[in-house]
Amino acid sequence: MEDLDPDLLDLTRSARTVTVLTGAGMSAESGVPTFRDPGTGWWARWSPEELATPEAWESDRELVWSWYLWRARTLRAVRPHAGHLALARRTGRVHVVTQNVDDLHERAGSEVLAHLHGSLLAFRCSVCERPWDASEELRLDLPADEHARERPPECPACGGAVRPGVVWFGEPLPPGALERAADAVAEADLVLVVGTSGLVQPAASLPLVAAGRGVPVVEVNPVDTALTPHADHTVRARAAEALPRLLARRR
């Protein structure tokens, strides 16, 4: 990774309130595949856009349920990386807003202000919306064959099918999530955008709001994205290598 601009380091190390918007690239080095990089294995034959939709749920609940269960169970094998830990340990106010549905930020010690697209570990009844405790289900090992189909459980209260607590394309964000994220951007004197292609709204607009207010925006991503033109600084590097350097305590 190239040396970082001293002015950038001064900015990232001295900012009083840092709001961080993370995407799938933040979890990539922990072993959680991103959405738009070519996948591998059984589930790579579907794109998330094909499965993460109400239509997919209506047409093949077992397939959609099996995909989310497999993803939730694989989380047990992954660990937060140095970038997650650097965020969690940074002194001063750090607001974490994520598009990710894993719990890696929390496991590193960060409090997540908003999971804009929900969580793999939150399940609820698709009819009465009652939360469903998945601990039993998630304790089970991954099925031997990745493509084992499992039936979604029935809600003990109303018999409806239990669904993942993830926001599907076309669905509204969790109540209050976007407002909390917008407040965090409004409060920030630095916005870090880490590991997102900036293609999905409304999350992708958050850094633009900061830029519009003259708040410095720093992008951490190995490649250019839709947000790059709006960033004041771009760090062409992976999150696990860049964040510890960007957020180290001032000497």
Q: Which of 95, 105, 117, 233 is catalytic?
A: 117
Contact 192, 97 (CB under 8 A): no
What span, in angstroms and rounded, lies between the C-alpha atoms of 100 and 21? 10
Binding site for ligand APR (CB under 6 A): 23-25, 28-29, 34-36, 48, 99, 117, 194-197, 199-200, 220-223, 225, 238-239
C-alpha atoms less than 13 angstroms from C-alpha of 149 in its C-beta half-sphere = 6
Residue 155 or 240 having the CB closest to ligand APR? 240
CB of 171 to ligand APR, least distance (A): 10
Residue 171 or 179 having the CB closest to ligand APR? 171
Maximum Cα–Cα distance across the chain: 59
- Cβ contacts of 51 within 8 Å, gap of 6 or more: 63, 64, 67
CB of 192 to ligand APR, least distance (A): 11
Query: In sequence order, what DSSP letters do the residues of 139-195 get, joined into one string?
Result: HSPPPSSTT---PPPBPTTT-PBEEEEEPPTTSPPPTTHHHHHHHHHHH-SEEEEES
Contact 102, 78 (CB under 8 A): yes
CB of 2 to ligand APR, least distance (A): 15
CB of 159 to ligand APR, least distance (A): 29
Residue 155 or 194 having the CB closest to ligand APR? 194
Contact 227, 193 (CB under 8 A): yes
Contact 184, 19 (CB under 8 A): yes
Closest residue to ligand APR: CB criterion? 25
Residue 73 or 115 having the CB closest to ligand APR? 115
Positive or negative torsion for Cα 107, 30, 85, 194: negative
Residue 34 or 66 having the CB closest to ligand APR? 34
CB of 101 to ligand APR, least distance (A): 7
Contact 50, 169 (CB under 8 A): no
Q: Is 84 annotated in the active site?
A: no
What span, in angstroms and rounded, lies between the C-alpha atoms of 12 and 246? 6
Residue 173 or 209 having the CB closest to ligand APR? 173
CB of 216 to ligand APR, least distance (A): 19
How is residue 108 annotated by DSSP? H
Residues serving a catalytic function are: 117
